């Protein structure tokens, strides 16, 4: 039987991604879309599916290996008539182009909560440092220079313990923290002596996002500016649109209007749509408007990126938001879905709250947090009128945005939301 090489499909900008799980063995019979292996990038855990049906003839990788787009991972004997009818592949036919990689996570979530969308850290060149892929990845996340650490493992291999010791600045292993940000650990406690406890492992999402969030908190001088927008009129308009949209199978939410208002503010104040250069000496202004939107899933927040928001209308945005949200909750997400954001929105209005401080996901420099809107008496010059007021919480990187600019940006957002005509032009 003819064999075909199964290769890593397009996984976005990720390269040298570690293999953390291999689901198949030689002799296994696969159907199209059966999972083959799992990769772990800095943003998500990515599941690679089989592009076609067939029998595993040879496995070319193992756990710990690093792969990129086009890397061959196994050889597949093309399915015979029985398997082909089930999986849609023909013997001797070349492997079909694989679908985008699916993100796999415990109970369905990937991405950072982050964040906010989670961007990969700047790569460090560790040269010939003797360390495993997982140790190298941890060192990159913590900004620890592996070449400055004397390994205590077999044949001088640098271990996870060596990296953690170096981070603490204790000098164990002869290393140090290249960023100079070694922070003492919180002392461990035996909680069991005070009462009953239960220990549950962190999900992959939280493990992946933890280092990124700590890095963002330590490196970004964060300021949050708050304001309110009168959305009484826009809410009435939204309800009118939503009534018609229900019959067509989608919903019109306030989030679509927030996306359009954000683009207007980003165009008016382009510093918010920029990033600091790696040397911190320049600003990189982006001429595109890709906005990350936090989506609530059973395991936490995932932040897919809605691309080219400036080129889409309210109806198109609502339909895309519905489709993307469903994919996030089903755990079906490709790397491209969570990459390339220039600004983010975290909307918690469906849950509640009066205000909060969203964390900027560097290298972005701004994020909008939206709690729940409430009815308030507002003076109109003659009398108090009941108006629906929406709190706006804009966090920004103070190295790029000063207080006056932050206040103007937030007020511009509010003004756009207070006049729906400006958003539908």
Q: Determine the Cα–Cα distance for residues 213 and 211; give it in Å rounded to an integer.
A: 6
pLDDT score, position 123? 43
Residue 209: per-residue pLDDT: 72
pLDDT at 110: 37
Tell me how far apart the alpha carbons of residues 272 and 265 are, in angstroms, rounded to a whole number: 8
DSSP 26-49: TT-EE-TT-EEEEEE-SS-EEEEE
CB 223 within 8 Å of CB 395: yes
**Which residue, chain included where needed, has tokens 């493990």?**
207
d(CA 425, CA 222): 34
Provide the pLDDT for residue 311: 95
User: Within 10 A of 242 (CB to CB), how many other CB atoms are there?
Assistant: 14
Peptide bond into 363 cis (omega under 30): yes
Largest CA distance in the chain: 86
Active site residue 398: yes
DSSP state of 235: H
Q: What b-and-e string marks burial along 77-101, b requiring 16 or more CB atoms within 10 Å of the CB? A: bbbeeebbeebebbeeeebeebebb
Report pLDDT for 118.
37
- Using only C-alpha atoms, the chain has a radius of gyration, in whole angstroms, of 25
Strands, E assignment, 330-417: 343-347, 366-370, 374-379, 384-397
Task: Report the Cα–Cα distance between both ends of the chain, in Å, rounded.
Answer: 60
Spell out the per-residue pLDDT of the chain, length 425, in tens. Answer: 688 889 988 777 677 888 888 889 998 998 888 888 888 765 566 778 888 888 899 999 888 888 888 899 988 887 764 433 333 333 334 444 444 434 333 333 333 433 333 333 334 545 556 776 667 767 776 767 777 788 887 667 788 778 777 766 543 333 333 344 456 778 888 899 899 999 988 777 677 677 777 888 888 999 999 999 999 999 999 999 999 999 888 999 999 999 999 999 999 999 999 999 999 999 999 999 999 998 877 766 778 999 999 999 999 999 999 998 888 877 777 778 888 999 999 999 888 899 999 999 899 999 999 999 999 999 999 999 999 999 999 999 999 999 999 999 999 999 999 998 877 65
What does the pLDDT read at residue 211? 73
Torsion angle, alpha carbons of 71, 74, 77, 82, to 10 = -100
pTM check: above 0.75: no
C-alpha 67/C-alpha 18 separation (Å) is: 6
Q: What is the pLDDT of residue 273?
A: 98
């Amino acid at each position: 039987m003819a064999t075909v090489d199964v290769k890593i499909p397009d996984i976005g900008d990720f390269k040298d991604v570690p293999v953390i799980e291999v689901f198949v063995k030689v002799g296994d019979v696969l159907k199209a879309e059966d999972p083959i292996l799992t990769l772990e990038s800095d943003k998500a855990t990515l599941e690679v599916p089989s592009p076609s049906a067939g029998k595993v003839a040879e496995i070319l990788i193992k756990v710990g290996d690093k792969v990129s787009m086009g890397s061959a991972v196994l050889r597949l004997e093309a399915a015979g008539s029985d398997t082909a009818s089930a999986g849609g592949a023909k013997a001797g036919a070349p492997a079909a182009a694989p679908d985008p990689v699916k993100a796999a996570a415990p109970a369905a979530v990937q991405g950072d909560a982050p964040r906010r969308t989670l961007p990969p850290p700047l790569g460090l060149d560790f040269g010939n440092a003797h360390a495993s892929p997982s140790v190298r990845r941890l060192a990159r996340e913590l900004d620890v220079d592996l070449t400055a650490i004397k390994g205590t493992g077999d044949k001088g291999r640098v271990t996870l313990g060596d990296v953690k010791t170096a981070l603490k600045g204790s000098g164990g292993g002869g290393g140090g923290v290249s960023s100079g940000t070694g922070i003492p650990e919180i002392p461990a406690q035996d909680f069991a002596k005070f009462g009953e406890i239960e220990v549950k492992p962190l999900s992959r999402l939280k493990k992946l996002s933890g280092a990124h969030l700590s890095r963002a908190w330590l490196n970004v001088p964060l300021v949050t500016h708050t304001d309110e927008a009168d959305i009484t009129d826009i809410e009435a308009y939204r309800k009118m649109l939503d009534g018609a949209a229900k019959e067509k199978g989608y919903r019109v939410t306030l989030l679509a209007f927030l996306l359009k208002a954000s683009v207007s503010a980003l165009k008016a104040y382009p510093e918010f749509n920029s990033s600091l250069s790696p040397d911190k000496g320049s600003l990189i202004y982006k001429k595109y408007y890709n906005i990350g939107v936090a989506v609530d899933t059973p395991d936490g927040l995932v932040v897919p990126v809605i691309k080219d928001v400036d080129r889409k209308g309210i109806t198109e945005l609502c339909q895309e938001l519905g489709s993307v949200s469903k994919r996030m909750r089903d755990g079906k997400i490709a790397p491209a879905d969570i990459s390339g954001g220039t600004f983010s929105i975290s909307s918690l209005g469906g849950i509640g709250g009066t205000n909060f401080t969203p964390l900027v996901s560097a290298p972005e420099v701004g994020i909008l947090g939206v709690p729940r809107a409430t009815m308030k008496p507002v003076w109109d010059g003659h009398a108090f009128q009941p108006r629906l007021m929406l709190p706006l919480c804009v966090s920004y990187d103070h190295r790029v945005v000063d207080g006056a600019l932050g206040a103007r940006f937030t007020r511009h957002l509010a003004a756009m939301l207070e006049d729906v005509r400006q958003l539908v032009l």
